[in-house]
Amino acid sequence: MLEFQPKNKYNPERGRLLVSEPFMEDPYFKRTVVLLCEHNEEGSFGFVLNKYIDVNITDVIEDLPQMKSRISVGGPVKNENLFYLHTLGKELDGSTEVIPGVYIGGEFDVLKERIKAGLITEKQIRFFIGYSGWEEEQLNGELKEGSWLVLPAMGTDVMDTKQDDLWAQVLRDKGDRQSYFANFPEDPKLN
């Protein structure tokens, strides 16, 4: 039997993915995959992994050399700010591990110097404009409504900006009864 609101086997927590249900209408979160960077009693935040803007990092930060990395729209909150995930670990003081081998934040001046020196490639850093945030208990309410499927994250899901259909790929990789969502049309009336 087809379940349109699958039960979550995983709880939301740092390092998990939120995969939107196939018919979500919210323009920011329609068919998105969000990496949760924090989830606690005060609220939750993370980054949308599969929405991009067509600007170069040098359009956002003037004194950086040209990089081929795509810039993601992390979400609708603080969309005038730049955030980043990286694989540099403790090379950037102040960074926090989100999943094994992937970190958030750290000393931005050190990051800029390493990029200028050619010590960081686009595979090691990922930039986001804005983030996705939920107030206390808001995300839990959305989970009860069936708006999100919670899944474990892998570094390849998080750092790969070349994948254009991450939402469907994450569902297919799940490999169980919910993987059929990957093939659902965006508007079933047009099918």
Q: What DSSP string runs through 28-66?
A: TTTT-EEEEEEEETTEEEEEESS-EES--HHHHSTTS--
- Residue 160 domain-assigned? yes
Q: Where are the alpha helices (DSSP H) in the chain?
A: 57-60, 108-116, 138-144, 155-159, 166-174
* CA pair distance 62, 13, nearest whole angstrom: 35
- Residue 85 domain-assigned? yes
- Residue 24 domain-assigned? yes
pLDDT over 70 for what percent of the chain? 88
Tens digit of each residue's pLDDT (9 = 90 or more) over 94-126? 999 999 999 999 999 999 999 989 899 888 999
- Residue 11 domain-assigned? no
- Residue 67 domain-assigned? yes
- Domain range for residue 172? 16-179
- Residue 55 domain-assigned? yes
- Residue 10 domain-assigned? no
- CATH, residue 116: 3.40.1740.10
- Residue 58 domain-assigned? yes
Average pLDDT score over residue span 75-90: 93
pTM confidence score: 0.89
pLDDT over 90 for what percent of the chain? 54
Give backbone dihedrals phi and psi of 94, rounded to 5 degrees, phi first.
Answer: 90, 0
Domain count within the chain: 1
* CA pair distance 106, 84, nearest whole angstrom: 9
